[in-house]
Amino acid sequence: MNNKYKILLVEDDEHIRIMVGAMLESAGYQVIEAQTCATALSLASSHVPDLIVLDLGLPDADGMTLLQSVRERSLIPVIVLSARSDETDKVAALDQGANDYITKPFGAAEFLARVRSVLRFSRHSADEGRLAGGKFQLRDLTIEYDARRVFIGSREVHLTQTEYNIVALLSESSGKVMTYSAIIKAIWGYPDSGSVKKLQVNMANIRRKFGVSPGQNSYIINELGVGYRMDGE
Ligand code: CA
């Protein structure tokens, strides 16, 4: 592979760093390593990686601080490695702009699938086909942004305005988990006690209209307790 993706791996635990570095290198990626926030920040600006894999518990600062600094200056995709199973940390990281998270311990297959997915969507997000006015395509699902029309194959899916807005929003960030609160803020502008329920009802209607049967690949994946993701895998 001549044109390798460059991945910045930020992890202070040597055992995990070596293991994850080996997973990435065996999959053909070029890996740059950092053990602290400070080193990671300087490597991120000098090397401009295609992806940052970020451990949240670092010796000199919290990984969330690094995530904020990276997001202030770039859209480099970030996958958070979290030892914490606490949902609030995942939600906080996603709300700070992380593209995905994975909880330790994890296997190579699952991790590399997330890496591929994040890289694919971040690369495609620059394509004009995904911008407003264009078309979005994910397997049989087509969204015509200009006309606000949605198709599964050749069948038009008749969505309400709110349902369409949710589908379009998820498609614009496809591959990335959007938290419940981020979706609610974007669609309704304000949260209230019934917002999550309202979102779930809309989502159930969308799935029903998409006609995805159980066991089939669905276009929208529910990350339980966290949010929703439109995915291509
Ligand atoms: Ca750590």
Q: How far is the CA of 116 from the centre of ligand 1 (A)?
A: 23
Say if residue 119 is in the same domain as residue 134: no
CB within 8 Å of 21: residues ≥ 6 apart: 9, 31, 33
Global pTM reads: 0.61
Say if residue 139 is in the same domain as residue 100: no
Omega before residue 105 within 30° of 0, cis? yes
For 104, phi then psi, to 5°, come to -75, 145
Q: How far is the CA of 54 from the centre of ligand 1 (A)?
A: 9
Q: How far is the CA of 190 from the centre of ligand 1 (A)?
A: 36
Q: How far is the CA of 64 from the centre of ligand 1 (A)?
A: 12
**174 pLDDT more than 70:** yes
Give the pLDDT band of residue 215 (cuts 50, 70, 90).
low
| pLDDT at residue 129 in the model | 37
Distance between CA atoms of 176 and 100, rounded to whole angstroms?
6
**124 pLDDT more than 60:** no
Q: What is the CATH number of the domain that holds 65?
A: 3.40.50.2300
Residue 183, both tokens: 């979706």
Residue that terminates a domain, selected from 123, 153, 180: 123
Q: What's the total number of domains in the chain?
A: 2
Residue that terminates a domain, selected from 64, 94, 123: 123
State which residues form the domain around 182.
128-230
Q: What is the CATH number of the domain that holds 195?
A: 1.10.10.10
Residue 21 vs residue 177, higher pLDDT: 21
Say if residue 106 is in the same domain as residue 141: no
For 102, phi then psi, to 5°, come to -140, 135
Q: How far is the CA of 18 from the centre of ligand 1 (A)?
A: 13
**121 pLDDT more than 50:** yes
Say if residue 110 is in the same domain as residue 170: no
**For strand 6-10 and strand 30-34, is the pairing parallel, antiparallel, or unpaired?**
parallel
Say if residue 50 is in the same domain as residue 156: no
Say if residue 118 is in the same domain as residue 159: no
Residue that terminates a domain, selected from 101, 123, 145: 123
Q: How far is the CA of 13 from the centre of ligand 1 (A)?
A: 5
**84 pLDDT more than 50:** yes
Say if residue 113 is in the same domain as residue 207: no
